[in-house]
């Protein structure tokens, strides 16, 4: 099977995945999610808005990891250093910028936290991705040396184990999907698609979109009757299915765009910047809560859309500095 080649469809998927992460943070992570407990009649328009938007957007992290699996991580010391430097650029850069401008007092403990990007961080995906990065050569070697049928059964068994023990029973190794185990599972699913092609290849690409929308609707209904944290876990079966369906829908497109490729290069930087504790805790989360409390639902919806665009474009501009500096390596 020939290696998958990067196309703008997958770069668009990076952008959409990170936009979804932003929406989830502006929605459930900022406002909290309603717990209707099956009382549909008592639900307000805002309750439905929160659940529907969360259901459509919760797949962002899974899709982002599927892309890594589809193309395969190629580990190298240079790649590891560039990943570390990218995380440090935002973690340390934001802290020092706030100190220099007098918005934050200097403290050695805060400086140390900003430097120790893999252990002293609120950004769970950073150390989790590092773990995936380090183990990827073993995963890749296993995939390369397994015939298709054996790979299928191993993957099915691992996914079933993950969903049953982790999601269903809440085992600590992967209760809600915020772990390296979840990233490994999505990476292997992505490797399978990258190696053997899309699931249901005879489908029209719009069938994948339909599958995504049906899964999103099912997730919303589940949230009405079940616990929100359980419903929106990254390793929920419906969330995994929705992630794969959306991945295949966007991935089945074929086009080339320099603009899309340029914007996609800063997709991970959007996460590093907006979820930085100083930016997130002092600006983005309070702004989302304020807009939710003070304005109408249509106005808040416009705010979310504008916030996603503005944060992404602003980060892209800032990220040109990082790209320039790391290009010299």
Model confidence pLDDT, tens digit, residues 249-306: 999 998 999 999 999 999 999 999 999 999 999 999 999 999 999 999 999 999 999 9
Share of the chain above pLDDT 70, in %: 98
Give the tokens for residue 326: 């790391």
Taking 90 as the threshold, does the pLDDT of residue 31 lie above it?
yes
> What is the mean predicted confidence (pLDDT) over 165-179?
94
Taking 50 as the threshold, does the pLDDT of residue 4 lie above it?
no
* pLDDT for residue 200: 85
Model confidence pLDDT, tens digit, residues 38-71: 999 999 999 999 999 999 999 999 999 999 999 9
Model confidence pLDDT, tens digit, residues 73-118: 999 999 999 999 999 999 999 999 999 999 999 999 999 999 999 9
Give the tokens for residue 268: 């991970």
Of 22, 25, 61, nearest to 190 by C-alpha is 61
Half-sphere exposure of 172 (CA within 13 A, CB side): 0
* pLDDT for residue 205: 87
Model confidence pLDDT, tens digit, residues 126-166: 999 999 999 999 999 999 999 999 999 999 999 999 999 99
């Amino acid at each position: 099977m020939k290696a998958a080649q990067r196309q703008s469809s997958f770069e668009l998927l990076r952008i959409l995945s990170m936009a979804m992460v932003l929406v989830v943070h502006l929605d459930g992570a900022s406002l909290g999610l309603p717990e209707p407990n099956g009382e549909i009649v008592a639900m307000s328009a805002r309750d439905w808005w929160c659940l529907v938007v969360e259901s459509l957007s919760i797949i962002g992290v899974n899709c982002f990891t599927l892309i890594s699996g589809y193309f395969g991580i190629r580990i190298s010391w240079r790649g590891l250093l560039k990943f570390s430097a990218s995380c440090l650029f935002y973690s340390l850069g934001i802290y020092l910028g706030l100190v220099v401008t007098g918005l934050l007092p200097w403290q050695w403990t805060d400086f140390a936290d900003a430097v120790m990007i893999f252990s002293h961080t609120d950004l769970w995906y950073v150390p989790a991705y590092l773990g995936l990065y380090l183990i990827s050569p073993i995963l890749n070697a296993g995939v390369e040396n397994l015939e298709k049928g054996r790979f299928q059964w191993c993957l099915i068994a691992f996914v079933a184990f993950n969903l049953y023990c982790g999601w269903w029973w809440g085992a600590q190794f992967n209760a809600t999907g915020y772990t390296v185990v979840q990233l490994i599972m999505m990476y292997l699913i992505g490797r399978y698609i990258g190696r053997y092609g899309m699931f249901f290849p005879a489908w029209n690409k719009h069938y994948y979109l339909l599958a995504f929308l049906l899964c999103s609707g099912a997730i919303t209904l589940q949230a009405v009757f079940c616990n929100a944290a359980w419903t929106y876990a990254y390793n929920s079966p419906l969330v995994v299915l929705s992630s794969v369906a959306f991945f295949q829908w966007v991935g089945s497109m074929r086009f080339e765009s320099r603009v899309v490729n340029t914007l996609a290069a800063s997709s991970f930087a959007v996460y590093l910047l907006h979820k930085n504790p100083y930016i997130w805790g002092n600006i983005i989360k309070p702004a989302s809560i304020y807009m939710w409390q003070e304005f109408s639902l249509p106005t808040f919806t416009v705010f979310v859309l504008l916030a996603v665009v503005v944060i992404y474009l602003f980060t892209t501009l800032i990220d040109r500095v990082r790209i320039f500096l790391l290009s010299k390596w």
